[in-house]
Structure 1
Amino acid sequence: MSAVRTEALVGAAVLVAAASFLVYATQFTERDGGGDSYDLTASFRSVEGVSVGTDVRLAGVKIGTVTDITLDPARFRALTEFSVAGDIELPDDSAVVISSEGLLGGNFVEILPGGSPFNFEAGDEIEDTQSSVSLVSLLLKFVSGGDE
């Protein structure tokens, strides 16, 4: 009987631990508004290091997620669609930049807010963009001594 009780207690502890992980995951992974959001688009020369699911941040805080990346064959640019939490109102002169978390970190999409009194609406395109900077190309320029 003792072995059965031990197994039952261990099983109950495992279920409690799994439930606590589930609660933690639902509370801390949906930090971008949990569904009340709107979509914006931006066009980049290069989206190196960015993929669907990449964080969209404002002042270092996650406010959205990249939802789609396609190629515009007419302009040879990457069209990026991302969601932004519905309670975040972005001025319509804001810029969007692909930033890096550091030398070994990943990239994320950063929004640099402007000062306009007018805000973006759902489906608008942010035209002021800056693509990711390739560390390899910077190192090659440095090593070759090129000013190009």
Structure 2
Amino acid sequence: MSRNIVETIVGALVLLVAGVFVFYAFAKSDRTGPDGYEVVARFGRIDGLKRGADVTLSGVKVGTVTGIVLDGKTYQAVVRMAVSSNVDLPADTNAKIVSESLLGGTVVALEPGGDKKLIRANGEIQNTQDSIPLTELIAKFMFGGTGSK
């Protein structure tokens, strides 16, 4: 009987530690909650971009990619992003797909323009730049070409 009590106590402690870990992870995560707003951008190529990827401005995370779908009419990737509410994006903001590093993932980098008009919730970033495949960059550097035939 005492063995069952010990197993029950150990099991309860394991569950308690797991619960504390989950609470800590949610408390420390940098996610855009209800105080943020969503915007969309359309790209011809988004090589390697995934849902949950960072959205950065001047190298600082300001949001997260919340969804990616293909527009069946234009064949463009429509990227939905949640942006922190304390970040105002001018209407002429530029969004581009970039690699964090040679080994890192892909992020959406925002470059604000100078327009006084702002992009509102569910608005669209009109100025976009597609991702450039690493193989094309290497070929251009090595051979002076575009890397495509």
TM-score by length of 2: 0.79
Which structure 1 residue ranges, 5 or more long, are not aligned? none
Note closer, same or farther for the CA distance 1:33–1:83 as it changes in structure 2 (3 Å cut).
closer
Question: Is 1:99 the equivalent of 2:93?
Answer: no
Which structure 2 residue ranges, 5 or more long, are not aligned? none
Conserved 8 A contact 2:97-2:131: yes
**Which residue does 1:137 correspond to in 2?**
136
Give a deviation string over 1:33-81, Cα, whole Å, max 9, x none. 3223222111112011112222222233333222232333444322222
**Which residue does 1:89 correspond to in 2?**
88
Give 1:124 deviation, angstroms.
1.6
Provide the secondary structure at the position in 1 that maps to 2:25.
helix
Question: Is 1:147 the equivalent of 2:142?
Answer: no
What is the root-mean-square deviation of aligned Cα atoms in Å? Answer: 2.4
In 1, Cα distance between equivalents of 2:118 and 2:9: 56
**Which residue does 1:15 correspond to in 2?**
15
In 2, Cα distance between equivalents of 1:74 and 1:3: 66
**Which residue does 2:54 correspond to in 1?**
55
Letter matched to residue 48 of structure 1? D
Note closer, same or farther for the CA distance 1:60–1:20 as it changes in structure 2 (3 Å cut).
farther
In 1, Cα distance between equivalents of 2:26 and 2:5: 32
In 2, Cα distance between equivalents of 1:4 and 1:75: 64
Instruction: Single out whichever of 62-71 and 119-128 deviates more from structure 2.
Output: 62-71
Give a deviation string over 1:99-142, Cα, whole Å, max 9, x none. 21111111011212223332111122111211112112222344
Runs ≥4 in structure 1, deviation > 6 angstroms? none
Provide the secondary structure at the position in 2 that maps to 1:122.
coil
**Which residue does 2:38 correspond to in 1?**
39
Letter matched to residue 127 of structure 1? Q
In 2, Cα distance between equivalents of 1:6 and 1:16: 15
Aligned residue pair count: 146
Letter matched to residue 27 of structure 1? A
Conserved 8 A contact 2:139-2:145: no
Conserved 8 A contact 2:32-2:64: no
